[in-house]
Amino acid sequence: MEMRRRQPIGVELVKRGIITEEHINQALEYQREHPNMKLGDILYSLNVCDPEKLIENIAEILGEKGVLLTGDVLKIKPTEYLTLEMCKKNKCVPFEVNGGKIKVAFSDKINKGKVDSVKMFLLNKGLIMEQYVTFSRDIERVINSLESESIGDISQTTSTGTIIELVDSIIRTGMEKRASDIHIEPLVEYVRVRYRIDGALFTVAKIPKEKQQQVIGRLKAISNMHQEKQEAQDGRILLYDDYNIRVSSQPNVCGEKFVLRLLKKNEDIKNIFELGYPGTEEELKRSFNKKNSITIIAAPTGAGKTTTLYSIIDYLNSPEINITTIEDPVEIRIDGLNQIEIGNKSTFSGALRTVLRQDPDMILLGEIRDQETAEIAIQAGQTGHYVLSTIHTIDAIEVINRMRKMGLSDYDIASTLATTVSQRLVRRICPECKKERKLTKQEKEIITKIATKYGEEIDLEKVKTYDAIGCKKCNNIGYYDRIGLFEVLDISDEIKELIVKGASTIEIRNKALEQNYKPLIMDGIHKVINGYTTMDELNRQLIIY
């Protein structure tokens, strides 16, 4: 039996009398200037026919149900059922709920993967999804509206309040939402405000372009920056009792962008195990409670290196030990520590030289940035001190290579380096709304492959995982707070020998794997099967599939 091939949508619409051939020619001309737009969206934009009939016929041709997403049709608040992030990612909007069924409009019905992921998400909430197709422009309009409404106080202040009230509202709301950073970014048509919450960025407001210079002026005024300078500057906001806010400005083609880092004063330091550190207390002592050595924490910017250092120092701190920290800046003040802040006229290497004359037992060095600092840190370790610091590399073993590239000898590295730790942060699944489920076949295959590679056996038949659903506690994101993924390399005598011989990091890695070293990905897998995070979140950080 010969299958009938479906005619192009444009031809079908002409046959049905919805549009004319002249309309098709207009649409094709328009498409040459807007190549990413679909024919149906173009016809809708050109307003060549009744939009409701247009979407109904397009949907019928595609074998779907169609809906024109007007204000009357949108009978629910979409973010009560799907997160704003999911609506944007999957180009969809829930618009009506009736009993146990929920109607969802998609702008891209061809992408079955997007439809299925939304369907499963809603099924976990006890809702059966009915799929509809609608115009992309209407999906974007609803999502833009949701973004603008997501932070009501800011939106209201933007239209009715003064610039002082607007900037204050942006900062205070960021504090309430647990933002670590606030991005205020001039774009072509407006100024975008985004919050980084648990490592992910969310757009929360759009400020009219005409208010841009006033907002910039206010930010410079409260950050103690030069108003006239149109160049990169650093400042601080000290107006809020509980927060020390670091401010960075950087000119771009649309104006000056500001990033505000919100640092909470007197924040309680988390126990190292609360951060997600693997292993036992005995293993922790073996890795960190040392003298005549250096411990290095390696991770990208924003991956929690400083927090881990503080937790280790807090764990080791006692009245019998003289601990000095050299930081840029001092983010958390700890009673009993001598904390030094690097200023404009001082450096890590200069401060470290002075500290060595202050009879320290333990030194926390914010970051090893150059050869001079690295050499002094090595000398400190070789003369009876315990030094903890950070460095930027991809994993714990590459720390050795990085120190080599800084000009340190293999002998100095082998004789002083005691432990290297690499880490990343993943979002914790929200405990209030997480939904338990069994692992899928694909997830089991991925976990089995990784575990086998690193010599572990995991009985996946008894393992369950969770889906991130979304609730009021987590702002409908599905995640709340973060947890660390760690890999720990204790520099054994065998590894020291390899370093002295100039062995490659591949040889060192193979030896470490023989000695029970586990890479980040294995800690991540354990965090998933123990219910702390999800496979999607693990993949977002480490790209495992």
What CATH number has the domain bearing residue 162?
A: 3.30.450.90
Considering the entire predicted model, what is its pTM?
0.69
Domain identity same for 126 and 238: no
Domain identity same for 389 and 505: yes
Domain identity same for 429 and 353: yes
Q: Which sign, positive or negative, has the C-alpha torsion 449, 455, 460, 465? A: negative
In-domain check, residue 273: no
In-domain check, residue 410: yes
User: Within 34-149, where are the H helices?
Assistant: 39-46, 51-62, 84-90, 112-124, 136-149
Do 538 and 544 touch, CB atoms closer than 8 A? yes
Q: What is the CA radius of gyration of the chain?
A: 28
Residue 70 corresponds to which tokens in the numbers above? 């007007």
In-domain check, residue 2: no
Local structure of residue 532 (DSSP, 8 states)? S
- Least confidently predicted of 72-76, 192-196, 394-398: 72-76
User: Comparing C-alpha atoms, which of 401, 429, 421 is closest to residue 413?
Assistant: 401
Domain identity same for 19 and 93: yes
Q: Quick one: pLDDT at residue 97? A: 93
Preceding omega of 329 cis (within 30 degrees of 0): yes
Domain identity same for 131 and 154: no
Domain end among 136, 163, 195: 136
369 Cβ contact list (under 8 Å, min separation 6): 348
Domain identity same for 368 and 316: yes
Domain end among 235, 264, 293: 264
Domain identity same for 255 and 385: no
Angstrom CA distances, 171 to 156, 183, 225, 298, 302, stand at 15, 10, 17, 31, 20
Domain identity same for 425 and 515: yes
Q: Quick one: pLDDT at residue 279? A: 82
Domain identity same for 170 and 305: no
393 by Cβ neighbours in 10 Å (0-12 / 13-18 / 19+) ranks as buried
Q: Quick one: pLDDT at residue 150? A: 54
The number of distinct structural domains making up the chain is: 3
User: In whole angstroms, what is the distance from residue 198 CA to residue 208 CA?
Assistant: 28
User: Comparing C-alpha atoms, which of 4, 28, 24 is closest to residue 14?
Assistant: 24
User: Within 356-504, where are the H helices?
Assistant: 371-382, 398-405, 410-416, 441-453, 493-500
Do 356 and 380 touch, CB atoms closer than 8 A? yes
Local structure of residue 66 (DSSP, 8 states)? B
In-domain check, residue 370: yes
In-domain check, residue 341: yes
Residue 471 corresponds to which tokens in the numbers above? 């609730």
Domain identity same for 68 and 156: no
User: Comparing C-alpha atoms, which of 415, 387, 411, 232 is closest to residue 312?
Assistant: 387
Do 315 and 362 touch, CB atoms closer than 8 A? no
CATH assignment of the domain containing 474: 3.40.50.300
| Structural domain containing residue 236 | 150-264
In-domain check, residue 493: yes
In-domain check, residue 470: yes
User: In whole angstroms, what is the distance from residue 221 CA to residue 241 CA?
Assistant: 18
Q: Quick one: pLDDT at residue 3? A: 37
- Least confidently predicted of 6-20, 271-285, 350-364, 503-517: 6-20
Q: Quick one: pLDDT at residue 327? A: 83
Domain identity same for 385 and 522: yes
In-domain check, residue 141: no
Say how far residue 485 (Cα) sits from the centre of its chain: 14
Residue 433 corresponds to which tokens in the numbers above? 């709304």
Q: Helix, strand, or coil here: 509? A: helix
Q: Quick one: pLDDT at residue 244? A: 84
Domain identity same for 162 and 86: no
Q: How many CA atoms lie within 13 A of 356 on its CB side?
A: 18
Q: In the predicted model, what is the mean pLDDT of the chain?
A: 87
User: In whole angstroms, what is the distance from residue 393 CA to residue 375 CA?
Assistant: 18
Whether the pLDDT of residue 5 is over 80: the answer is no
Whether the pLDDT of residue 255 is over 90: the answer is yes
Give the mean pLDDT of 452-461: 90
User: In whole angstroms, what is the distance from residue 442 CA to residue 118 CA?
Assistant: 18
What residue type is 506 in one-letter code?
Answer: I
Q: Which sign, positive or negative, has the C-alpha torsion 173, 329, 315, 399? A: positive
pLDDT tens digits for range 10-67 = 888 888 888 888 888 888 888 777 777 888 888 888 888 888 999 999 888 888 899 9
Local structure of residue 279 (DSSP, 8 states)? S
Q: Quick one: pLDDT at residue 130? A: 94
CB atoms within 10 A of CB 323: 21
User: In whole angstroms, what is the distance from residue 23 CA to residue 46 CA?
Assistant: 9
**Number of helical H runs and strand E runs in the chain:** 21, 18
